Structure 1
């Protein structure tokens, strides 16, 4: 099926007459008739029935007309946006992020940036180390992660240190009061992400190791959503950033820890030595406001 088939179909459906539709499309009637027949054969549905006064859409044809109009409209918008970007009427601003950042300030920052109609925001889910490489390659303009990476070409700003909390099965005995890491070490643990480190899993396990505590890792999963699903099923607990509690999940209770030094940094990574352009200055301004809101308690 080609786009021309959809355009031909819409023209015929609106004209209810092959001759008038052909004139509108500036083509001869026989090729238009063949195109409509080919379309019906490919869809496997009769789209028109012939009436004395012209063509009439079948119920299937009515539905297909609505869908065809939507497809053609989306294609038209995509083409217009592509041409606008090619004419430099929009600036592309690419952001790298780790998933656990996306439950806090990042969506608010993206929403504020998108108010600028001349800005095209592109999001890339990347581990912190991959963000550093993407920054150096010019694939992203700023990255948000949790791991400190030493690289002469990239600078990292510690926006704030975020407390980690325990995600426990609802009603678990340890939800009655803030548990210590020693308490949690007696419970099977679910970590994320899986795969080679360093990653957030290494951060969480490190808190136990530095205290001489051994953990029983029941399962390693790829993301926080899956980890919470396993917690809800009673398989164990997970340490998650505080902002994840905004993600309400049935069967999961979020509990602060007894220790107040179990935190994870939220880092912004940028290319070192690069003079900020207008978009980066705007981003920095919005980011400073959101971080201030977070630190002063105006945002959870």
Structure 2
């Protein structure tokens, strides 16, 4: 805090210029000059002289209240800065597969800014990650808004960052890709791969088929390993239900989207976390940077 305000606060706390001077180990004229400078700066009288010291004027009372707020903010800032460089500081993140690209691009930059922060990333589906956020095992969950069904009556919030949709992915040599048109019923004739085993995602495609009086799809494999899923899609004429962001990352490898007359599911993906009042500075800083990364990826069409 500026020296002038430090002198002012000590006069208030001691009720005397002379006692403040003794406490600060400086001369009384030095403190008197600081008080005079403040009064000239704000064009007010800060103290009234009494027989046994000084008392605050209304303007002085306002200044003292503000000085206390500033001092508390300074102490809080110092505490948060020190905690950032403490070996105890950690950031625990749960993430779905759609977030792999933005996390990959920002995590090294984040660690450069906060070199002593320990980051843990837990990949999983939203169904498995949200309960860990609620219990305090995770600080942040990156995933879809479909997590709302898991957070009723729990103190967590969702920050939407981008739109996404589900699509049906096949290899470019698949028979359905080669045909000019196909029916939804034909989708049930082929094996399916469930990536990430997200129940809400897999249920969405079956609901679409059910409305068309079509049998549900048959999953020959549910896996969290994308390369395993893609190998089956390519070699076994399997179909894969996944997000358009995943399709964007693999389309140059011979995988394409099967067009549908009706969309499967549109939704938002974003950040699940505790309300702002309960979040540490480090969590807010990470959210700020992930927002910026998403904006950059959108601008350059990387997401």
Give the TM-score category using the shorter length: 0.5 to 0.7
Corresponding residue for residue 157 of structure 2: 155
Q: Does 1:236 align with 2:238?
A: yes
* Inter-partner Cα distance in structure 2 for 1:105 and 1:95: 13
1:1-300 matches, within 5 Å, as 88-89=86-87, 91-98=89-96, 100-116=97-113, 117-146=115-144, 147-148=146-147, 149-151=150-152, 152-176=154-178, 182=184, 185-193=187-195, 198-223=199-224, 224-245=226-247, 247-248=249-250, 252-255=254-257, 257-259=259-261, 261-262=263-264, 263-272=266-275, 274-296=277-299, 298-300=301-303
Relative to the length of structure 1, the TM-score reads: 0.59
Q: How far apart are residue 126 of structure 1 and its match?
A: 3.0
- Does the CA contact (< 8 Å) of 1:180 and 1:259 recur in 2? no
Q: Is the helix fraction higher in 1 or 2?
A: 2
Q: Is the 8 A contact 2:170 2:258 kept in 1?
A: no
3-state SS, counterpart of residue 281 of structure 1: helix
CA contact (8 A) 1:190 1:236 kept: yes
TM-score normalized by structure 2?
0.58
Deviation at 1:266, TM superposition (A): 1.7
**SS of the residue aligned with 1:244?**
helix
Bigger drift between 283-292 and 178-187 goes to 178-187
Task: State the distance in 1 between where 2:301 and 2:103 align.
Answer: 15
Structure having the higher Rg: 2
How far did residue 94 of structure 1 move? 0.7
SS of 1:113 mapped into structure 2:
helix
SS state at 2:118 partner? strand
Q: Deviations over 1:256-280 (max 9, x none)?
A: 6344743353232102354433212
Which segments of 5 or more consecutive residues in structure 1 lack a partner in the other structure? 1-84
Moved over 6 A (4+): 177-181
Which 5+ residue runs of structure 2 have no aligned equivalent? 1-82
Distance 1:180 1:220, change over 3 A: same
Cα-to-partner distance string for 1:121-180 (whole Å, 9 max, x where unaligned): 111123313322211222111001233233322222332221333321332243358977
RMSD: 3.5
Give how far 1:221 is off. Answer: 1.6
